[in-house]
Structure 1
Amino acid sequence: MGEILKLAITIDVEEEGLFGGAYPRSGATVSNVALLEKLEWLTRDFDLPLTLLVDHAVASSGACATVLRHWKDDLGAEIGVHLHPWNTPPFGDGDPLDSTAMPPELLSAKLGNVLEAVEACVGGRPRSFRMGRWDFSESVRRAVLASGLLVDASVAPLKHTPAGTTWFNAPAEPFWLDEEHSVLEVPLTVLPIVPAFGRLAVNMGKSVTRRFSSFGALGIQPVWFPAWSMRQAVRLHAHRHGEVLNLFFHSSELLPGASPHFPTEQSVRNFLEKLRTFVVWLKRYVVVKGRTLSGLRQDMESR
């Protein structure tokens, strides 16, 4: 194969509790963050830098600072931000809320607080962002554009999200969020098997869009898709002249029992082996260049 693909590995680094629906405003456990060490081989063996998108609970934990600084200083990772509005101060009446129901000034204040917390934790102003629960509404887009952030990775194509179907048929390749090219969007790599299927699904309503990824899409997300789909997604993306891949999962998925997908130590090992097998295959199939989210923006600006 002659194609060159750029691969961003973007990890939501957050407290335990996502899959149990129990996010305390304080005292959250973050023991999974230390398990990021299980991913060092991605950088050491395959020259793939990670983008770690860190939420307020993790950034506020002194124990996590050493881990994150190691990734930043020794392994070349980018440290960005991940907003969980339900446990990021300041708190308003009725938290947690979907972003569409949240006053814009409260949303902006939460985003500002997580930016400051991550900056204090690792040094350097974060430049990349992902919204929790893929809740990338218009109010979040506006807050991101006003924040000084340079890259967003909140768009999950072909996924029904709290923001509805606004981004359901978003392209798989990076695109600018505004005409001024101030923020680059790097969506997850999820592709419709047939492009028209995505548009048809939106017209058919929620009952179809909620299930679409199970029958109408391919993706490289190792928790969401089987190994064969990951490989087919790469082949299809290359065939459609795509240049960028964005692979994602949660740090808590490295902790046995912290997610329903990986209840045991063996299931976590199987997941990591699935990820390694995919990376080995990818390196053989195409020329792969590892990129952080900010690195992808630099590539866009240098064109």
Structure 2
Amino acid sequence: MQRSVSDPPRPEGIARFRAGWGQRSLLTVDTEEEFDWDAPFSPSEHSLDHIGRLAKFQQFCEGIGVSPVYLIDWPVAASPLAAEILGDAVKSGKAEIGIQLHPWVNPPHEEEVNAYNSYAGNLPLALEREKFMRLKDKIEENFHVEPMIYRAGRYGLGPNSVAMLREAGIAIDSSVRTKFDYRPGHGPDYRATPLVPYWLDEPQGVLELPLTSVFWGIMRRQGDLLQPLVDRYPHLGGILSKLSLLERISLTPEGISVEEALRGIDIALDDGLPILVLSFHSPSLVPGNTPYVRTEEDLDRFYDWWRTIYSYLDKRGTAPTSVAEIIRSVEI
């Protein structure tokens, strides 16, 4: 039975893992084109100048023993350079490829390009499916791999998305950003969804791996009630954070300091979360592409963030995992 993507699962819908699984971490990379985040959505105003930097990042990941999951959208899927850079790592099991759908740059271009339609799940079923299948086919053609994980661009799952993934044989979705409400921008509301992995449909078919976001602070147990006020009055969030009362922490170097992320990791692990899902956008690998990495010094701090995080996860006994290992280890 398919549920709304905003609904919490029933207790039997929470995923369970084989004995000895413990706690693991998964690094996901939203591997996408560069575009002006403040400009209207455009099917053509973008570039791929940062793709060459994926080689350095992949080498960095191999050096710290992490196998990243590159969630690739249409411009990257069609890039021979991206396939050349990532191909050997994928073949050797040192990286994995998944799907990320940005509707506005993905053929067929039949819809009006606007904020509402930037969420793939808002599109008519036939158009969402056609865009998705063309992207999946392009990835398989150019990267010679069958992707098993999906993330909707802008976290935009919709009422037809899960059935589409199941039909296409996609085992895992990672579009849900727990504790975030995207309704003001025409997207989904994920405030009621859990952090633990769960089945999006029943009986088990598509496994959801939510991106990890936690509340920290004295009032973190009231975070779900207070966050709507913070969303409405952003200055309130700064006040609550400074007073150590409440802070929403996502496991990403984009806008989250390493000190904040370490607090978030402690909360997630102490709460028993079996998989921590970390993420960032690939254009951040070149200064100036995103608001989070403006200078070379920012980029140095970006890499130091990852070094510190994975060193700490190792100390906490949390090993890196992969999509393939998760699929093998989840109990059906």
Structure-2-length-normalised TM-score: 0.81
Whether contact under 8 Å (1:158, 1:209) holds in the other structure is no
How many angstroms apart in 1 are the aligned matches of 2:55 and 2:34? 17
Whether contact under 8 Å (1:150, 1:294) holds in the other structure is no
SS in structure 1 at match of 2:191: coil
How many angstroms apart in 1 are the aligned matches of 2:42 and 2:112? 14
Whether contact under 8 Å (1:72, 1:78) holds in the other structure is yes
Corresponding residue for 1:229?
260
Which amino acid in 1 is paired with 2:135? V
Corresponding residue for 2:215?
192
How many angstroms apart in 2 are the aligned matches of 1:165 and 1:60? 29
Whether contact under 8 Å (1:159, 1:212) holds in the other structure is no
Which amino acid in 2 is paired with 1:63? L
Whether contact under 8 Å (1:201, 1:208) holds in the other structure is no
Query: Which of 180, 205, 209 is the equivalent residue of 1:182?
Result: 205
How many angstroms apart in 2 are the aligned matches of 1:165 and 1:195? 23
How many angstroms apart in 1 are the aligned matches of 2:120 and 2:330? 29
How many angstroms apart in 2 are the aligned matches of 1:172 and 1:122? 31
Structure-1-length-normalised TM-score: 0.88
Corresponding residue for 2:101?
83
| Percent identity of equivalent pairs | 23
The 1:114/1:208 distance shift into structure 2, 3 A limit, reads farther
Structure 2: which 5+ residue stretches go unaligned? Answer: 1-20
The 1:208/1:155 distance shift into structure 2, 3 A limit, reads farther
Are residue 14 (structure 1) and residue 32 (structure 2) matched?
Answer: yes
Are residue 130 (structure 1) and residue 180 (structure 2) matched?
Answer: no
Corresponding residue for 2:17?
none
Are residue 69 (structure 1) and residue 69 (structure 2) matched?
Answer: no
Which amino acid in 1 is paired with 2:141? A
Q: CA RMSD in A?
A: 2.6
Residue 192 of structure 1 deviates from its aligned partner by 2.4
Are residue 207 (structure 1) and residue 207 (structure 2) matched?
Answer: no
Whether contact under 8 Å (1:153, 1:188) holds in the other structure is yes
Are residue 290 (structure 1) and residue 320 (structure 2) matched?
Answer: yes
SS in structure 1 at match of 2:34: coil
Corresponding residue for 1:260?
291
Residue 201 of structure 1 deviates from its aligned partner by 3.7
Whether contact under 8 Å (1:89, 1:110) holds in the other structure is yes
How many angstroms apart in 2 are the aligned matches of 1:93 and 1:63? 29
Which amino acid in 2 is paired with 1:51? V
- After alignment, is 186-195 or 206-215 more displaced? 206-215
Corresponding residue for 2:269?
238
1:121-148 Cα shifts (integer Å, max 9, x gaps):
1112211110111112223333323322
Query: Which stretches of structure 1, 4 residues or more, deviate above 4 A after TM superposition?
Result: 162-165, 208-215
How many angstroms apart in 2 are the aligned matches of 1:249 and 1:143? 25
Whether contact under 8 Å (1:14, 1:251) holds in the other structure is yes
Whether contact under 8 Å (1:218, 1:229) holds in the other structure is yes
Query: 5 Å matches for 1:14-163?
Result: 14-17=32-35, 19-21=37-39, 24-26=42-44, 28-74=46-92, 76-96=94-114, 97=117, 98-99=119-120, 101-161=122-182, 162=185
Count of residues in correspondence between the two structures = 298
